[in-house]
Amino acid sequence: MQEVANSIMPTSLSDTFLRLVTRDNRRTEAEIQADIRQFILDAPFALEEDDLSLVQLESQLGDRRRIDVEVGATVIEVKRDLRSERIRRDAEEQLAGYVELRAEQTGLRYVGILTDGTGWYCYHLVDKELRQVSEISLKSGEIEPLIVWLEGVLATTHGLIPTADAIESRLGATSSSYLLDRATLSTIYERNRNDPSVVMKRKLWARLLTSALGTQFEDTDDLFIEHTLLVNSAEIIAHAVLGLHPETIAPAALLGGERFDESGIYGVIEQDFFDWIVEIEEGRIFVRTLSRRLARFDWSAVEQDVLKVLYESIIGADTRRRLGEYYTPDWLAHIVVEEVVDAPLKQRVLDAACGSGTFLFHAIRRYIAAADNAGMTVPEQIHGVTRHVIGMDLHPVAVTLARVTYLLAIGRDRLIDPARGTIQIPVYLGDSLQWQEQSVDLWTAGNLTIRADDNRELVASELRFPDALLDDAARFDELVNEMADRAAGRRSGGAAPSLNSVFERLAVPQQYRSVVEGTFRTMCRLHDEGRDHIWGYYVRNLARPMWLSREANRIDVLIGNPPWLAYRHMTPEMQSVFRRMSEARGLWAGGELATQQDLAGLFAVRACQLYLRNGGKLGLVLPNTAIDREHYRGFRSGQYGDATLGMAIAFSPPWDLRRIRPHFFPRASSVVFGSRANGRPLPMPEEAEIWSGRLPATNTPWDQAQAVLSRTNGRLQRSSALARSPYAPSFSQGAIILPRVAFVVERQAATTLGLPAGRVALKSSRSVQEKKPWKSAESVSGVVETEFVRPIYTGDGIYPYRSIDDMAAVIPCTSRSLLSEDQIEMYPGLHNWWSKAKILWSQGRSNDRLTLLQQLDFQSKLTRQLPIPELRVVYNRSGMHIVAAKISNRRAIIASGLYWCSVRSIQEADYICAVLNAPITTELARPFMSYGKDERDIAKHVWELPIPPFDITNEMHVRLSKLGAAAEVIAASFPLNADIHFAATRRHIRQYIDAMPEGREINDIVYELIS
């Protein structure tokens, strides 16, 4: 069945919908109930009109109560009008009773819907309390949103094509089905969070993600729950790919992969961090419901890495940005694979940071296409592809998604071929980088040694395996599976059973058996202590990177998108190891450039060193800094360390992708190419292929992308200066004009006697934002010489490309300097005001270190402004977005809520304003900023970006300057409303400009300039 948007709605359905959303007080509840039932029968929910067993009107509960409408496991309560809080509260109480009783009667998970036809509210039951999880309010013409929302709750449709749009709308974070599943899973976790098995699995999950993501990873309930839902969903989808019906399989068998083991498909689903849910009765009910929801899609009809779409639809953009998780678009993975995998039937290909499996998907499809052309049989194709395309990742969620993606790429027809034989999916959870560089230690005495360390033993237990057993991945995995199953299946505390039958069946040589038996006894002991939950899973996966790093097992092609983890986001331990490994390979930039470094360069070099054979090729997506910025100079050299490391790369021209729109990563990207050179490095050339163009969507397939992208030969401009902007030292913070009551003023009317020329009557201007003790201080009033009453600019008065100076303050300074206490006495009005202000200061200050005059000029923040420059650019010290404007008032003082800089020309001012106001600048600067309660500390962190000084001979700079001037005109046309908070006004002006062609062009140019 195609998406609703592509279908033609029956006239009767439209008529019914119109009656539902039209509030007509003459209609009875019975009429609304009948229309709701008819709407459900007519909508594309895979129901027949006469199927009364599924859609029941006035369904009997058995205690003389009746459900208005019942559909499967959904109870619908109907009211004429739910706008009254009392009516809605009473209806919710009634609905809660219905849902609770139906769940008790059936043992199934029931949900409830409350509606009056216009408002629709979905609930689930938690400890007999009804909790809302989703809602939708409708008006005429919005029939499709209701169909999608209601179908997500009912989950009755079948045959949906799993396009990116369908997955996002039906399963994404805003869909009704996701909100229901997320709320239920959260409740189950909260009830069982202290279960030993749950605690252990979460702890190991957190440990791996800390290794993968550093300090960006936060061990939160929300993320663990979202990852559990994602992995469970992927494992259910894996069953559907094979044509199995996951809703008919027992939950424990489903998440344990029993059907796959029976089918001879290994390495897809196994016990992991996220199967804790099936150890709990209500969790098993949840898995059955989740299976029913996912079974709505035809998962055999997949033409792209859809699990990447599912991941990005569930894990919010803010979370993914914080974790640095951005997956490669399909078009880019496709063309990179095509570029470097030129003999797919001969080359062994590895993605050592495979994520959800996008590169694997395209490498598999390339192998299978070549195999088809070569006339290979299905068994030959599957046998070949699983030995030629390999993936690894340290992220446990990504690994599960990649394994299912691997199946999707092979395709159902091949998987169900009766002649195919057994399959071992070669995607492994492992530390590809091998942070600890323990190769020698781990292989001591011919054994692979893995520490079963969960911080519960003074000396960690060790699991040892003879390295020769790892040569056959399928045999090794089956051996570890048998050991884990037998350790768990024996009587607790009893002797370890014999493994002789396993040894005979798997042909384990006699000389290795004693080592395996010792490891098995350790696994039995760990299990008895409640600690052997997933060590088998751990062993099978962590062993594979070590095996691949042995010279005889190295691969021919290295592809992928290595992690771009910034040095500043690494844990202290990771920073120490990163620096040591980088220094040993000549990659450490040091000094001010240290914080600019990221993991991508070291990962690329280390992966080549460990896994790529001499002469093997690489094609890796890296930050654009890798091809032209100073802190990647060591990487571009091609020579890494001394002869001990024995590692060099011969680079070929890279691809520069920073001119492609829309942006598909938070930072501009590139693709680097080369081959492993045995002691004969070739530095990365300055020649590059420059890509540009505008894609219809980020994840566009290659056949569409190539029609809109252009590729030309060009030359890179390499940066030899520090990445930090030269503007950094030019900007200063404004003066501390606090406490407000002592400085900020408003005019008072003169008395009937009038005032002398050159003086003005003033009183303190108060604000609700004043803090103790100043908010309770008495206001100051007096008559002051006008030359000391100056306009001031604060953060509240700055908007994108626009400023207002509606505030004034008494400032004891001339046009050239700050007055001393003695000089202040020479001006009677000022002296009188200043004396009162000093009394306030002495009564309220928290320390005796600063006088009021020293406070005003703390760190020379006032005197640095004198004499006042002719033209300045200012931007806000804090906020959710950077906003900047020009200041040309030569009497105005800049307050501490702003940073300012004197500029040489209007063109330079317009250029700086364009750069700072561009949304992409805030986006790129955010990683440098610290967070307050509800805003970011911008300060001078923005100048950590490589914003170049204005150059009148640079066409890009001149164009930005002209666009900045145009944006200033646009901002000036926006009407200001004093009743609207300044932050909201900033947002409205920013959105107004960004919607204009000038705003969009500014953002594109700035991205290209500084990303």
Q: Give which of 274, 212, 268, 218 is closest to 241, Cα–Cα.
A: 268
Alpha-carbon gap, residue 797 to 804, rounded angstroms: 5
Alpha-carbon gap, residue 949 to 941, rounded angstroms: 17
Residues 103 and 23 in one domain: yes
Percent pLDDT > 70 in the chain is 89
Q: Classify residue 762: in a domain, yes or no.
A: no
Q: Classify residue 724: in a domain, yes or no.
A: no
pLDDT at 366 over 70: yes
Q: Are β-strands 555-560 and 612-623 bridged in parallel, bridged antiparallel, or unpaired?
A: parallel
Q: Say which residues have a Cβ less than 8 Å from residue 926's Cβ, sequence separation at least 6.
A: 936
- The two tokens of residue 66 are 């009746």
Residues 365 and 455 in one domain: no
Q: Classify residue 775: in a domain, yes or no.
A: no
Q: Give which of 261, 278, 282, 279 is closest to 270, Cα–Cα.
A: 261
Q: What pLDDT, on the 0 to 100 scale, is given for residue 963?
A: 97
Number of C-beta neighbours around residue 708 at 10 A: 13
CA 173 to chain centre: 13
Alpha-carbon gap, residue 912 to 1010, rounded angstroms: 13
Q: How many structural domains comprise the chain?
A: 5
Containing domain of residue 672, as a range? 555-715
Residues 812 and 906 in one domain: yes
Residues 190 and 262 in one domain: yes
pLDDT at 275 over 70: yes
Task: Answer for the pair 534, 272: CB distance below 8 angstroms, yes or no.
Answer: yes
Mean predicted confidence (pLDDT) in 747-755: 81
Q: Say which residues have a Cβ less than 8 Å from residue 509's Cβ, sequence separation at least 6.
A: 468
Task: Answer for the pair 69, 56: CB distance below 8 angstroms, yes or no.
Answer: yes
Mean predicted confidence (pLDDT) in 736-744: 94
241: left (phi over 0), alpha (psi -120 to 50) or beta: alpha
Last residue of a domain, one of 503, 527, 548: 548
Residues 455 and 416 in one domain: no
Amino acid at 930: S
Which three-class secondary structure string do you get for 457-525? Answer: CCCCEEEEEEHHHHHCHHHHHHHHHHHHHHHHHCCCCCCCCCCHHHHHHCCCCHHHHHHHHHHHHHHHH
pLDDT at 559 over 50: yes
Model confidence at 651, in pLDDT bands (50, 70, 90)? very high
Q: What CATH number has the domain bearing residue 112? A: 3.90.1570
Residues 880-896: tens digit of each pLDDT: 899 999 999 999 999 99
Q: Classify residue 326: in a domain, yes or no.
A: yes
Q: Are β-strands 893-894 and 807-810 bridged in parallel, bridged antiparallel, or unpaired?
A: unpaired
Number of C-beta neighbours around residue 820 at 10 A: 10
Angle formed by the axes of helices 11-21 and 143-154, nearest 10°: 90
Number of C-beta neighbours around residue 827 at 10 A: 17
Q: What pLDDT, on the 0 to 100 scale, is given for residue 442?
A: 38
Q: Which residue has the tokens 């599943």?
A: 181
Mean predicted confidence (pLDDT) in 901-907: 96
Q: What pLDDT, on the 0 to 100 scale, is given for residue 453?
A: 55
Q: Could you check whether the bond before residue 466 is cis, i.e. omega within 30 degrees of 0?
A: no
Residues 529 and 610 in one domain: no
Q: Classify residue 536: in a domain, yes or no.
A: yes
- The two tokens of residue 383 are 């046998």
β-bridge mates for residue 521, sequence order: none
Considering only 104-118, 400-414, 455-469, which range has the smallest mean pLDDT?
455-469
Residues 447 and 389 in one domain: no
